[in-house]
Amino acid sequence: MLLEQTKPPLYSQPVFYKDISYQQISSLPPVPIFALDSSRLRDKQGLERATRNLAVAQNPSDTRTDVQEPDALLISQTPGIKWLDLQIRNCRGQADIIMLHYDITMIHCHITMPFYDINKLHYDITMVHYDITILHYDNTMIYYDITMLYYDIIVLDYYITMHYYDITILYYDITMLYYDITILHYDITMLHYDTTIRHYDITMLYYDITMLRYDIIIQHYDITMVCYDITMLHFDITMVHYDITNLNYDFTIPHYDIQKLHYDITMLHYDITMDITMVPYDITMPYYDIT
pLDDT tens-digit readout, 177-225: 989 999 999 999 999 999 999 999 999 999 999 999 999 999 989 988 9
Mean of pLDDT values over 2-10: 40
Segment 275-287, tens digit of pLDDT? 787 777 777 777 6
Q: Say what the pLDDT of residue 191 is.
A: 92
pLDDT of residue 4: 40
Q: Is 240 exposed, middle or buried (0-12, 13-18, 19+ CB in 10 A)?
A: middle
Report, in angstroms and rounded to the nearest whole number, the Rg of the chain calculated over CA atoms: 47
Q: What share of the chain is helix, strand, coil (3-state, %, to 5)?
A: 85, 0, 15
Nearest one of 115, 126, 105 to 6, comparing CA atoms? 115
With beta carbons less than 8 A apart as the criterion, state whether 100 and 50 touch: yes
Mean pLDDT, rounded, for 19-26: 48
Higher pLDDT, 10 or 125: 125
> Which tens digit of pLDDT belongs to each residue from 95-123?
878 888 888 888 877 787 787 778 788 88
Average pLDDT, the chain: 73
Q: What is the pLDDT of residue 114?
A: 80
b (16+ CB within 10 A) / e for 252-266: eeeeeeeeeeeeeee
b (16+ CB within 10 A) / e for 115-149: eebbbbbeebbebbeeebeebeeebeebeeeeeee
Count each helix (H run) and each strand (E run) in the chain, helices first.
Answer: 6, 0
Sign of CA dihedral 191, 194, 198, 203: positive
Better-scored residue on pLDDT, 158 or 37: 158
Question: Residue 28 has what pLDDT?
Answer: 46
Name the pTM for this structure.
0.25
The reported pLDDT for the residue numbered 45 is 53
What burial class does residue 188 get, using C-beta atoms within 10 Å of its C-beta: 0-12 exposed, 13-18 middle, 19+ buried?
A: middle
Does residue 231 carry a pLDDT above 60? Answer: yes
Q: Tell me the CA end-to-end span of the chain in Å, nearest whole number.
A: 114
Rounded to whole angstroms, the Cα distance separating 252 from 130 reads 81
Percent of the chain with pLDDT over 90: 13
CA angle 265, 267, 268 (to 5 degrees): 60
Q: Identify which has the larger pLDDT, 287 or 20.
A: 287
Number of CB atoms found within 10 A of residue 34's CB: 12
Q: State the Cα–Cα distance between residues 15 and 54, nearest whole angstrom.
A: 55
pLDDT at 291: 62
More confident residue, 215 or 164: 215
Query: Please, what is the angle between helix 79-162 and helix 164-290, to 10°?
Result: 170
More confident of the two residues 196 and 257: 196
What's the pLDDT at 33? 35
Residue 7 pLDDT exceeds 70:
no
Q: What is the reported pLDDT for 79?
A: 56
Query: d(Cα 211, Cα 275) in Å, to the nearest integer?
Result: 97
- DSSP letter at 140? H
Q: Give the start-to-end residue ranges of the domains of the chain.
A: 45-58+70-107, 134-251
d(CA 72, CA 80): 13
Spatial CA neighbour of 116 closest among 278, 5, 276, 14 = 5
